[in-house]
């Protein structure tokens, strides 16, 4: 079993994926345990002094002016968790909650939070036991941390609230902890606050979206190449020398991927045959430019994620010189912006894919293909409504592309008067990524059928490999009308599982 060791200097994206989506075990490094203990000594020393220190001996947010006496501080920490665990709506996915908890543990282990080593160990034990707190869709404004989501996680550490066991059954958290021999934590000064105050949910969703989009952008290059082939387009526009004179890295990578898929095709280069064309439509000719711009947006988002993965996000923070200082590092703007950028890029990628699909189905623009790729047009409707479904998904993607980070709503009696809405940006990006997968699947379904309807000319070896693998996976080829939803579901699973990229890379080698 893979083990992820959490130290003081952050974690990697692959660590997040291994814990969130896999069964990786978590261990705390000796360095992290020592840093936790050292920071706790500072907090304990400050707690013993009569001077109020925010988060240690005061209230929180707009209530920070009240000094809390020592006998009430444990209750204060319990209360902040209970009162902030105020989420509503549907449950958040298991992988998101695991990423959320793991990334909070990452910051705790930095030695800047003042949390005791035993609290950090309990966080690791809960994750290792496969216990997943019940976290709800709504409750974070992406500022002062993902407060309600993280509070529901902290509630589980206290043995309160509900959680999902490794068997998938939701039960009282106290029962699950007892079954796995985990002692609930008794929170002390600053610990409740430290468990709530971070960008961990939005960051976890960003890391997972980037992993999914990496596969989807390669998939979109493949389906764009298949559509170009099916439309008897020209691959001359993909020449490296053309893309070198506009040196956006993503554009060059997308063009190279399409060229690799099309190598050896007998279907390209016929744009001067029976119905001469000077050039292909933008949706075909500009595919590398659009997919490339999205790739470059991903590169920026990945840079932001890497910085955040190395960060210790808490308020207040414990500094090595013994100071405990209030700060604004919990603000989610850096992460929120790139989550919104990715939703915009994903919407545009879905939009251009839908335009290619529509072109494949239109007899006036498909250069000899039957209307709607139907077996007997008029009797059969072919893929007419598959394109409707794809268009509906694209329309939804455009709505999801409206930036959440452009909004702000004041909270906490105007103390928290500007918020990032980064959690909301992350939630809608997850839906956008899900829909983009379906959009690419519909283009795959249409393009492979169209290629098979081109008689007398052989597609590229990579295209043949895609068609064979798709058919083996239950994505059926041309023929009379049939119940279409199962075919589309099979195409979706083929793309979603990375099998489209795998089929091509067996022929071309790794795509960029």
Q: Cα(445)–Cα(357) distance, rounded to whole angstroms?
A: 9
Q: Cα(130)–Cα(19) distance, rounded to whole angstroms?
A: 10
Query: Which of these is catalytic: 54, 138, 217, 445?
Result: 54
What's the distance, Cα to Cα, between the start and end of the chain in Å? 30
Strand, helix or coil at 133?
A: strand
CB-based burial of residue 487 (10 Å sphere; 0-12 exposed, 13-18 middle, 19+ buried)? buried
| 54 catalytically annotated | yes
CB-based burial of residue 475 (10 Å sphere; 0-12 exposed, 13-18 middle, 19+ buried)? buried
Residues 470, 432, 217, 18, Cα dihedral to 10°:
-90
Q: Which helix (H) or strand (E) holds 83?
A: helix 73-84
Q: Is the four-CA dihedral 263, 466, 386, 345 of positive or negative sign?
A: negative
Strand, helix or coil at 39?
A: helix
Token pair belonging to 321:
């010189």
Contacts for 236 with CB less than 8 Å, ≥ 6 apart: 269
Q: Is 269 within 8 Å of 307 (Cβ atoms)?
A: no
Q: Is 224 within 8 Å of 284 (Cβ atoms)?
A: yes
Residues forming beta bridges with residue 28, ordered by sequence position: 6
Residues forming beta bridges with residue 163, ordered by sequence position: 133, 171
Q: Which DSSP category does 234 fall into? A: -
Q: Is the four-CA dihedral 237, 240, 245, 248 of positive or negative sign?
A: positive
User: Catalytic positions, please?
Assistant: 54
């Amino acid at each position: 079993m893979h083990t992820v060791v959490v130290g003081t200097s952050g974690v990697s994206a692959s660590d997040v994926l291994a814990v969130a989506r896999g069964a990786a075990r978590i261990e705390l490094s000796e360095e992290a345990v020592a840093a936790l203990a050292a920071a706790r000594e500072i907090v304990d020393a400050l707690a013993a002094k009569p001077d109020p220190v925010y988060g240690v001996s005061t209230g929180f947010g707009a209530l920070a002016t009240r000094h809390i006496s020592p006998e009430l501080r444990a209750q204060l920490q319990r209360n902040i968790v209970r009162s902030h665990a105020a989420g509503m709506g549907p449950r958040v996915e298991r992988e998101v909650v695991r990423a959320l908890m793991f990334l909070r543990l990452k910051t705790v282990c930095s030695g800047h939070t003042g949390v005791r080593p035993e609290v950090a160990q309990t966080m690791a034990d809960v994750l290792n036991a496969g216990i997943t707190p019940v976290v709800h869709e709504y409750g974070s404004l992406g500022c002062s941390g993902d407060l309600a989501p993280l509070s529901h996680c902290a509630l589980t550490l206290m043995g309160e609230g509900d959680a999902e066991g490794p068997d998938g059954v939701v039960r009282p958290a106290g029962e699950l902890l007892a079954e796995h021999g985990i002692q609930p934590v008794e929170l002390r000064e600053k610990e409740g606050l430290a468990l709530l105050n971070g960008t961990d949910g939005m960051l976890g969703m960003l890391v997972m979206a980037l992993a999914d989009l990496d596969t989807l952008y390669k998939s979109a290059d493949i389906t764009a190449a298949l559509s170009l082939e099916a439309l008897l387009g020209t691959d001359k526009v993909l020449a490296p020398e053309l893309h070198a004179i506009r040196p956006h890295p993503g554009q060059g990578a997308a063009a190279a991927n399409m060229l690799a898929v099309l190598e050896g095709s007998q279907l390209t280069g016929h744009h001067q045959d029976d119905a001469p064309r000077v050039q292909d439509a933008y949706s075909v000719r500009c595919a590398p430019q659009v997919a490339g711009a999205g790739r470059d947006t991903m590169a920026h988002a990945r840079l932001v994620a890497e910085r955040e993965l190395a960060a210790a996000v808490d308020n207040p923070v414990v500094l090595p010189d013994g100071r405990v200082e209030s700060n604004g590092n919990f603000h989610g703007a850096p992460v929120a912006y790139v989550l919104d950028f990715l939703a915009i890029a994903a919407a545009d990628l879905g939009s251009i894919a839908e335009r290619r699909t529509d072109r494949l189905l239109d007899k006036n623009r498909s250069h000899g293909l039957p209307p709607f790729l139907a077996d007997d047009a008029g009797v059969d409707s072919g893929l007419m409504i598959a394109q409707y479904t794809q268009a509906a998904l694209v329309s939804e993607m455009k709505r999801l592309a409206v930036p959440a980070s452009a909004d702000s709503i004041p909270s906490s009696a105007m103390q928290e008067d500007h918020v990032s809405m980064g959690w909301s940006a992350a939630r809608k990006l997850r839906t956008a990524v899900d829909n983009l997968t379906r959009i690419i699947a519909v283009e795959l379904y249409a393009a492979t059928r169209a290629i098979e309807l081109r008689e007398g000319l052989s597609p590229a070896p990579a295209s043949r490999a895609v068609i064979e693998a798709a058919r083996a996976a239950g994505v059926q080829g041309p023929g009379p009308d049939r119940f279409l939803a199962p075919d589309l579901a099979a195409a979706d699973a083929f793309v979603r599982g990375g099998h489209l990229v795998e089929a091509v890379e067996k022929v071309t080698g790794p795509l960029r």
